[in-house]
Structure 1
Amino acid sequence: MKLVLILLLSLCLLLVSASSGDRSPAFQSCLLKCDYRTCKSLSSTWSPSLALRLTRWTCTDDCKYTCMHEITSRALSSRNGEEVQQYYGKWPFWRLGGAQEPASVVFSLANLYMHLRGIRAVRRSVPEDHPLKTVYLWWGWVNVNAWIWSAVFHTRDLPWTEKMDYFSAAVAIMYGLYSTVVRFTHIYPPPPSSLTLSSRQPSSHWKKNLYRLWSTLCTLIIVAHITYLTSLPRFDYAYNITFNLVLGLSHNFLWLIFSLPASITSLFALKRYPHAPISYRPTFASKAAWFVVLTTLATTLELFDFAPWWRIIDAHSLWHAATVPIVGMWYDFLVQDSRDEGWRYGGWRDELKD
């Protein structure tokens, strides 16, 4: 979940930062001339390709793109060491098939693919009667949706694609925390009546009510979050960052506790598995900590904000690329965790693993 959180933060910071390129006299002069000659002149011959029409490029948008790259090319060829500038909060990228940031689009789709693979692994390898199988499948689809909108947003940065990207990311972060709390507190959704439930005892009435309460609370929080942001005249980036930070850090904190030695987790009264002693810690528990560490390291790529190499690859797209293998690693962990003996009612062998 932290993956989608940092995506959200970086996009927000880029958008709210000032851009010297689009305010420069050279750019404004180029834009005025291009807009008049290409878009407003009676002799205009602007005819967008099918890709540009499908991605909703206007004539003025195309002029902005053309002027941006003309000025960038002059800066790169200058012997005076002129710096490449940002325009409208973004670095100048070569577009591909109408996509504004093709590398980020490709890596977003790669993350989407890894989630689809993970969903297939959960379906195939997690036991049918496991209490969290449905939760994990929904978690996968929520993230698939988030990465779809990430790809759409990087294809075309428009007000509605921006909001869909942000809101989908927020839902994914919220669902990550929701599923983690369900996992750690052992309050599970009601099972299908067709299952034999060999992996769990009948849920107590208070746990069922607690599950419904937690589900309702998370739903109300995310609905209120989206409603608040859509009701404002201007998008509240600072609030949006704070909201997702709180959720994401809470999620990571819980999984860090999970990975700690049993002597420490017992202080938090954390029972990792419903049918194993509180002191039981599987050998693979440390993988949860590695996930948090690796996502944090991948996030540091965002700190090295630089003009894109060959006008294609920037720090943000590299961060997207770095998360691809981490997604696969996390699904492997979830499958391994779900197959542990500690989930089986009456099937746990008296072995302590620390």
Structure 2
Amino acid sequence: MASYDGRSCDEKLSNYQTVSILGHCFDSKAMVYLAKHIPSGSMVAIKKFDMDKIKKGIDLVESEIILTRQLCHPHIINYFAAFVAGQEVCVATPLMGYGSCRDLLVRHFNEGLPEPAIITIIRDVLDALVYIHDKGYIHRAIRASHILVSADGYACLAGMRYACPIVANGKWQRSIHSFPATTEKNLNWLSPELLEQNLQGYNEKSDIYSIGIVLCELANGTEPFSGMSKTLMLTEKVRGWKPQLLDRTTVSKEENLDSGGDCEMSTNVLNRRFSDDLHELTGQCLNRDMYDRPSASQLLAHPIFKTIKKSLPLPELLKPALPLNDRVGYDTEEMKNFDMINQMTELDLNSCEWDF
């Protein structure tokens, strides 16, 4: 069957047959659908932004589409097409079978992903970051919900609407002072220097701090500072407190009991052991001073990434999670019955936050 390469500039909504709702994004102001690209027969994801609801975020949608379509990297989500249909702006993307890393944590790995899966995903994200930084951009929104995983087992970085340029007037800036718009959902992942907004400013190393938070998020099942007030979160970051991977080397049973049950952890968490290399990698990313953090390319040279050469493929590591299969929806009779597809338990399409 022909594949959809996205090179046609004459795309319109009638070229797509909607199969079912995958979830929502952009603070629930946009919906994501599973759809079939009729000319090629390929399954894709369609994001529909309702511009009447977004209003103040129109510039973000526009900048994300423009920037994403300028980028070309295997670990950055690709936009096949972008077009207007009524009051909606529609964007066609590849169907990422496992959804986001946040979806994987919520549905299948409440206590965190296996270490080899974490390393594989972070390697792909760092590869994308090297490319983005070399292109002169800071991402500013790296988090698990902005990391999508394909059915083949490669990770793609999304969420480019928060990115900002490092280059101004043809010159590479040593520091940036602009604060990302509508960034409340990203605060827990942002670096202390970005949040401080002082005279020193920040640079692309702020993305490295976010990588450290994502490492904790993928390993622990939830991001650091979750449930904490924004003021206390900022205070803790500014004073240099480093979040940690939760295992038997960082949390003892006695400490868990002393907590009064507020952060009660399972026996699995208290007995597991992450490698020294993963602890070290996380600590390097979360250094308080941005100049003490390695660059994305330096992180990729870390010995931990050599270990995944001997590990299982990512789809094997993510079991029992199963990806949406490209075969879904090829049956015309099934596509006529949306209710039937929504009720197929193996798809698990509902209540999904594809927040990219």
TM over 0.5: no
More strand by share: 2
More helix by share: 1
